[in-house]
Structure 1
């Protein structure tokens, strides 16, 4: 295979994963492969050339999603402002519940496609616990807030993704704001925490 053909093949694969991710997120993992091919502007044969089965395509999409989550969590753990880091992690989680419904059903529910990522999910949960514990030490969360409290907040947010899409898109941000008000102290704290209005909206979803 020539370099150009390899490059074209890699571009096609990336395009398929990108289109499939959006399609699965919006319409669920049962969307026909032919429909994904149509949305990507390709033939079904091209899809099967890159992904011999539906399961292969689903696995590629979920792997890409999990990799993004890992990158975000590493960035949060590296952030010296523990309040901003925890707030950003919760906001991104909420955004994904609202907009990546099909993927979340696979990763967080009982769908067989999510089973391969169970270990990574546990690692991600442990990293989130470290974010909460660090914020507790820094006084960035209210004194009575525990790791389990923060996890319960995530479960409450995730529960709302079962609503019809328009309702979920409206309710999840509202609930998230209420939960953040209950979890976080008003004043930012922690080592390296900047002050002033320019920092007030830091930590928005990546």
Structure 2
């Protein structure tokens, strides 16, 4: 075993152990220190990134003669007017522009991502067992949402109640797989930090 001599590795090990100390000692001073340092660094990075955006997207275009950039700058400055008593109503106009533009862009992306792409993904050629299984599961889930409630007794009379039950099973399997993937992702992060401590720091 040969402990690393790299000060950055020591810093990483200190931060990792300080964060993990929350598991054993809820409110340890090391955890509070690292948490405060993280928030401070994040705030500093936010300020630097904000100034970089202003410089690259406002100052540089103005220096190059692109004065149309003054329109979004003016709208952005109007957002700060809401803190001035008597003029806070002016901030409604840039907020309306932001909401309208965001809603338009979001609606277009949502339709493409959550409707068109999902429909294309569901229309699979039935030439393999995986595609057949996915297609049957898709139909069962659709039946679960559309054929439950008032139509449940009709489905039972037609001996098709198993379709909605199959859809419920498919949904539970999907939610379980999603939860398992989340847990595996968190475990992989923990394993990565433990490997860092054992190999990079302790040299085992």
- Give the TM-score normalised by the residue count of structure 2: 0.23
More helix by share: 2
Bigger-Rg structure (1/2) = 2
- Give the TM-score normalised by the residue count of structure 1: 0.23
